[in-house]
Amino acid sequence: MTRLARSGVFAASVTPLRPDLTPDLEAIAPFLAFLAGRGCDGALLLGTTGEGPSFSVGERAAIWRAALQVRVRHPDFNLLAGTGTPSLSETIELTKLAFDLGYDGVVALPPYYFRAATDEGLFNWFQRVISSAVPADGLFFGYHFPGIAGIGFSLDLLARLKEAFPRQFAGIKDSSHDRAFGQALSRTFGGELVVFNGTDSDLAWALQNQAAGCITAAANLISPQLRQVYDLARNSSDSQSAQMRVTRQRQILERYSPFPPALKALLTRLHRQPRWPVRPPLVDISETDEERLAEEFSVP
C-alpha cells in the first residue's frame, strides 16, 4: 500500500460512458493507458471531472475494478479513488472498498450537503471515516474544493487531522484556486502535508510553494505540457514559457465549463478517443461551442 508516488502529474480522469449512460467498463483501462503514455504518474477516478457523485456504490465499484487492468501494461501507474459523499456510512463503505481493491489512496470531499458544518463536526466525520476504513498504511487525501462543494478544509482542521492520523492523513488536493491558501499551507505544514494542486495555471507557482504535484482535469488533454512544467520546476530550471502555454490552455477550457463535456469532446477531436457522453444534470457541449473550442485549443 506504500507504492503511491507522493508527487507528480495526475489526471482527474473523465469517466467513459456508453450511449445509454452506463459506464463503458471496457474503455476505462485503455484510456488510463493513454494517460500513462502521455506522462501521467497516475489518475484520480470518480472525482469532479469523473462525475463521481453521479454514480452509485455498485457503479463505482465496477469502474474501480475495471481501472485495475491498466496495471497489466503499466504496473507502476498510481490509482486514486474519489470516495467522498454527504453520507458517512456510504463514504466509509466506498473508502474501505477502494483499499480492499488495492488502490493507492483515496481522495474525499467533506460532506458537501452540510455547508454550515463546524470544524468540530468535520473532524468527527473524518475521524470516523479514517478509523473505520483506512488501513494503517493507507493514504487518505482531503479534497479541498469549496467553490464547488461549498465547504472545505480550514488550516486548523488539517492540522488536527494530521496530528490525529500522522501516517494515514497524507494531504489534500487543493482545487481552491486560492494562492493565499496555498501559501498558508506551505508556511504551516512545509513538506509534512502532501499537497496536489488542482489549478493548471498555478502549477509552477504551487511547486515553488512546496506542492508535490498536480491532480487536474486538463491533464486528460495536456499532460505532456504539465509534465514539462513539473520536470523543469523540480529541477530548478526556468519553467515560465512552459507554464504560459499551460495557462493559456487552462484559460480556454475555463470558458467552456463545466469541464467534463468539453474534455470528452476534445479527447475525440484531438486524440481519437471514443465520443463519450456525460450524465445529467450535465449536458453535452453544443456543436457550435465544440467547433469554437476545438479551433481555439488547437492554436499553438
Closest CA to 195 of 209, 184, 179, 211: 211
**pLDDT score at 10:** 98
**pLDDT score at 1:** 38
The number of distinct structural domains making up the chain is: 1
Closest CA to 181 of 163, 200, 198, 164: 198
Q: What is the CATH number of the domain that holds 174?
A: 3.20.20.70
Category of 260 on φ-ψ map: left (φ > 0), alpha (ψ -120 to 50) or beta: alpha
Q: At what angle do helices 179-189 and 155-164 cross, to 10 degrees?
A: 40
Count CB-CB contacts under 10 A for residue 165. Answer: 18
Q: Is residue 3 part of a domain?
A: no
Closest CA to 9 of 203, 270, 272: 203
**pLDDT score at 298:** 83
Q: Is residue 2 part of a domain?
A: no
Question: Phi and psi for 216 in degrees, rounded to 5?
Answer: -135, 155
Distance CA 228, CA 233 (A): 8
Category of 120 on φ-ψ map: left (φ > 0), alpha (ψ -120 to 50) or beta: alpha
**pLDDT score at 3:** 60
Distance (Å) of CA 82 to CA 3, 67, 147, 194: 18, 13, 17, 17
Domain of 279? 8-298
**pLDDT score at 6:** 76
CB-CB contact of 12 with 35 (8 Å): no
**pLDDT score at 91:** 98
Burial class (CB in 10 A: 0-12, 13-18, 19+), 6: middle
Distance CA 245, CA 242 (A): 5
Distance (Å) of CA 201 to CA 198, 210, 241, 252, 263: 9, 16, 12, 11, 17
Low-confidence ranges of the chain (pLDDT < 50): 1-2
Q: What is the pTM of this model?
A: 0.95
| Catalytic (active-site) positions | 48, 113, 143, 173
Q: What is the DSSP letter of 199?
A: -
Q: Is residue 46 part of a domain?
A: yes
Q: Is residue 240 part of a domain?
A: yes
Rg (CA), the chain: 18
C-alpha cell at 15: 469517466
**pLDDT score at 2:** 43
Q: Is residue 1 part of a domain?
A: no
